[in-house]
Chain A
Amino acid sequence: MNLRAIDLATVAGYFVLMAFLGYLTRRTKTFSEFALGRRSIPTTMIFASLAATIVGPGFSVGVTSKSWNMGFLFYFLVVTFAAQTLLTGLFFGPKLTEERDCNTLGDVMRKRYGRFTQLLTGILSVGLCIGFTAVMGKIGGTILHGITGWPMLACLAAVTGATALLTFTGGLRATIATEAVQFSLKAIIVPTMLLLAVSKSSVSLHDLSAKASTLMHASSSSMTGWQLFGIAVSFALGEVLIPPYANRALAAKSSTASRNGFLLAGAFIIMWLAIVTALGIVAHGIIPSDTKPDDVFVAIGRAVLPPGVFGLLLATVLAIVMSSQESVLNSAAVAFVRDIVSLAARPGERATLLLAKGSTLGIAAVAILAAQFSPSIIEGLLILYAIWAPTILVSLIAGLYLREVKPLASWLSIIGGAAASLVWQFAKEPGGVPAIIVGLSASLLLYAIGHFAGKTLSPLSRSALSSSTNNVCST
Chain B
Amino acid sequence: MLYLAVTIFPIIAIACGVVSLYSVVRFVAEIQRDIRRPSDPSEETGNPK
Contacts and interface: CB of A to CB of B under 8 A. Distances in A.
Interface of A: 21, 24-27, 29-30, 42, 44-45, 47-48, 51, 72, 75, 170, 173-174, 176-177, 180-181, 183-188, 190-192, 194-195, 198, 205, 208-209, 212, 268, 271-272, 274-275, 277-278, 281-282, 348-350, 475
The 10 A-B pairs of least Cβ separation, nearest first, read: A187-B17, A191-B10, A349-B46, A278-B5, A274-B5, A180-B24, A44-B23, A188-B17, A271-B9, A48-B20
B17 A185 contact: yes
B1 A184 contact: no
Given A191-B14, A208-B2, A209-B2, A48 B23 contact: yes
A27 B9 contact: no
Interface residues of B, number: 30
Given A184-B17, A185-B17, A282 B6 contact: yes
Contacts of A272: 9, 13
Nearest to B3: A205
Contact of B31 (A177, A185, A187): A177
Given A271-B12, A274-B9, A188 B23 contact: no
Interface string B14-49: 101111110110011001100100010001111000
B3 to A, nearest CB: 7
A-side interface mostly: helix
A173 B18 CA distance: 20
A176 B10 contact: no
A326 B13 CA distance: 22
Contacts of A212: 2
Given A191-B9, A274-B4, 16 more contacts: A29-B43, A42-B23, A174-B31, A177-B24, A181-B21, A184-B21, A184-B24, A185-B17, A191-B10, A195-B6, A205-B6, A268-B13, A271-B13, A275-B10, A275-B13, A348-B46
B36 to A, nearest CB: 10
Contact of B46 (A24, A209, A271, A475): A475
Given A44-B19, A274-B5, A349-B46, A191 B24 contact: no
A358 to B, nearest CB: 17
Nearest to B31: A25
B44 A29 contact: yes
B27 A45 contact: yes
Contacts of A275: 5, 9-10, 13
A195 B13 CA distance: 12
Contacts, number: 116
B21 A72 contact: no
Contacts of B13: 187-188, 190-191, 268, 271-272, 275
A176 B31 CA distance: 11
A31 to B, nearest CB: 8
Nearest to B19: A44
Contact of B24 (A48, A190, A209): A48
B32 A187 contact: no
A300 to B, nearest CB: 13
A184 B27 CA distance: 14
Contact of B43 (A30, A194, A271, A277): A30
Contact of A188 (B2, B18, B31, B39): B18
Nearest to A197: B6
Given A27-B35, A180-B27, A475-B43, A277 B5 contact: yes
Contacts of A192: 10, 14
B43 to A, nearest CB: 5
A412 to B, nearest CB: 36
A389 to B, nearest CB: 28
8 contacts: A42-B27, A44-B20, A185-B17, A187-B17, A271-B5, A275-B10, A282-B6, A349-B45
